[in-house]
Chain A
Amino acid sequence: MSTALQSLSTELADAVESAGRAVVAIHARRRIPASGVHWRPGAVVATHHTISRDENITVTLPDGTTAPASLAGRDPGTDLAVLKLAGQSAPTANRRTDAPPKVGELVIALGRPGPSLTASWGVVSRVDGPWRTWQGDEIDSLVRLDLAIYDGFSGGPLIDAGGRVLGINTSALARGVPVTIPVATVEHVVTELMERGTIRRAYLGIGTQPVRVPESLARKLELESDVALLIVSLESGGPADRDGMLLGDVLLELDGAAVNDPGDILAKLGGDRVGKPIAVRVIRGGQLKTLQVSPGERPKSRAA
Chain B
Amino acid sequence: MTGSVSAGLAQQLAAAVDQLRHITVQVRTHRAATGAGILWDGGESEGRGLVITNAHVIRGDRATIELSDGTVARARVVARDPKRDLAALEFESWRAMVSIVIRDSPPLRVGELVIAIGHPGGLVGAATLGIVHRAESEGAGRTPRWIRADVRLAPGFSGGPLAYTAGRLVGVNTMMQGGLALAIPAAAVEAWVRRSHALVAP
Contacts and interface: CB of A to CB of B under 8 A. Distances in A.
B101 to A, nearest CB: 12
Contacts of A16: 109-111
Interface stretch (B39-47, B65-73, B133-141): B133-141
Nearest to B130: A121
Interface in A1-40: 1-6, 8-10, 12-17, 20
A150 B8 contact: no
B166 A6 contact: yes
Contact of B111 (A4, A6, A13): A13
A117 B166 contact: no
Interface string B116-150: 00000000000000111111110000000000101
Nearest to A3: B12
A116 interface: yes
Contact of B113 (A3, A12, A15, A151): A12
Given A2-B165, A5-B9, A6-B166, A13 B133 contact: no
Contact of B165 (A5, A108, A115, A151): A5
Given A4-B8, A20-B110, A121-B150, A116 B135 contact: yes
A118 interface: yes
B150 A119 contact: yes
Given A2-B15, A9-B165, A10-B112, A116 B134 contact: yes
Nearest to B137: A116
Q: Which of B9, B110, B178 has the most CB of A within 10 A?
A: B110
Interface residues of B, number: 29
A147 B130 CA distance: 11
Given A1-B166, A4-B5, A9 B113 contact: yes
B180 interface: yes
A148 interface: yes
A120 B110 contact: no
A12 to B, nearest CB: 4
Q: How large is the interface on A (under 10, 10 to 19, 20 to 34, 35 or more residues)?
A: 20 to 34
A120 to B, nearest CB: 4
Interface in A102-135: 108, 115-121
Nearest to B108: A13
B179 A148 contact: yes
Interface of B: 5, 8-9, 12-13, 15-16, 109-113, 130-137, 148, 150, 152, 164-166, 178-180
Interface of A: 1-6, 8-10, 12-17, 20, 108, 115-121, 147-151
30 contacts: A1-B166, A2-B15, A2-B165, A4-B8, A4-B12, A5-B13, A5-B16, A9-B111, A9-B164, A10-B112, A12-B112, A12-B131, A13-B112, A14-B111, A16-B110, A17-B109, A17-B110, A20-B110, A115-B137, A116-B134, A117-B110, A117-B134, A117-B135, A118-B110, A118-B134, A120-B131, A120-B180, A121-B150, A149-B179, A150-B179
